[in-house]
Amino acid sequence: MLKHHGVRRTHIHNVRLAVVLSLTAGLVNGEGLLGFSVLTTNVTGHAALFAENISIKSWATSWVIATWMLLFLGGAFISGLIIDVIGKNQRYSNLIPLTCEFLILITTGFLGNHFTNNLAVRQFFAGSLLFAMGMQNALVTMISKSVVRTTHLTGTFTDLGIELAQLIFSRTENKPELKSRIGLKLSIITSFIFGALLGAYAFGNLDYYSFFLPAAILVYAILYDVFRVNAKRYYRKMEKKIKIGTTVRPGTNACTKEVA
């Protein structure tokens, strides 16, 4: 899901990545909005709020919103730096941004209920979630070569509309690839919206402890590749042992040549 890059990456890898992390982003978006009254997975709406507060000379709020946008940018920068620099030397560097995101989510879940009346702390938590989503968005973008975006739906809906129009007029031989791209976009949209609905429901029942739910999904994403790689190594070793056992006849020495 995470470790395949370039030509080794297939459509099914992108679909798995899209479903898991779009679901996570949808959960964070729904829970963040209800918990902090802030959209915590993208900065599009914050740009309008920033402009509005500048126009009414609400400087304190403007600085807070500007900081949120910079935190999203900072998360993307850190994630890109980790993948570009550490990724050349360490096998699981893609897991580092997800681990940081996991720590932010569980911290929000543990501490969120204790600071509901403190505006500054609520703003801090909202900024932390934007930082985490910036890391996730950059990670997914780099892994999938910009094919998958999981923290917002604007570009996804645009691409889906274009591809649906192309499907009507495309030649028959191009339709399978086009349909696979449409299926990927639908997977992202469906997972994000379902995650937002689930997040709203979970927050209504669990309050800030609901942030443990997207954190648990991240644990699944992290462990999926680790155990999958280890399982493949184990089966390859077993296959080699079986092949060696079948090529050596009983009662002969594997290190000696058979004399004709």
- What is the structure's pLDDT at 3? 66
Task: Report d(CA 252, CA 248) in Å as an integer.
Answer: 7
List, for residues 97-156, the tens digit of each pLDDT value.
Answer: 999 999 999 999 999 888 777 888 889 999 999 999 999 999 999 888 888 889 889 999
Rounded to 5 degrees, what angle do the CA atoms 60, 64, 67 make?
140
Q: Give mean pLDDT, residues 61-87.
A: 92
pLDDT in tens, 5-59: 655 678 888 899 999 999 999 999 999 999 999 999 989 899 999 999 999 999 9
pLDDT band of 63, cuts 50, 70, 90? very high
User: Between these two residues, 193 and 249, which has the higher pLDDT value?
Assistant: 193
Q: For residue 241, what pLDDT band results from cuts at 50, 70 and 90?
A: low
pLDDT band at 223 (very low <50, low <70, confident <90, very high): confident
The pLDDT assigned to 11 comes to: 83
Indicate the pLDDT class of residue 242, thresholds 50, 70 and 90.
low
Question: How high is the pLDDT of residue 93?
Answer: 75
Do 199 and 83 touch, CB atoms closer than 8 A?
no
What pTM was computed for the model?
0.85
Give pLDDT tens digits for 165-213.
Answer: 999 887 777 788 899 999 999 999 999 999 999 999 999 999 999 999 9
Residue 250, pLDDT > 60, answer no
Rounded distance between C-alpha atoms, residue 189 and residue 157, angstroms: 8
Q: How many CB atoms lie within 10 A of CB 44?
A: 11
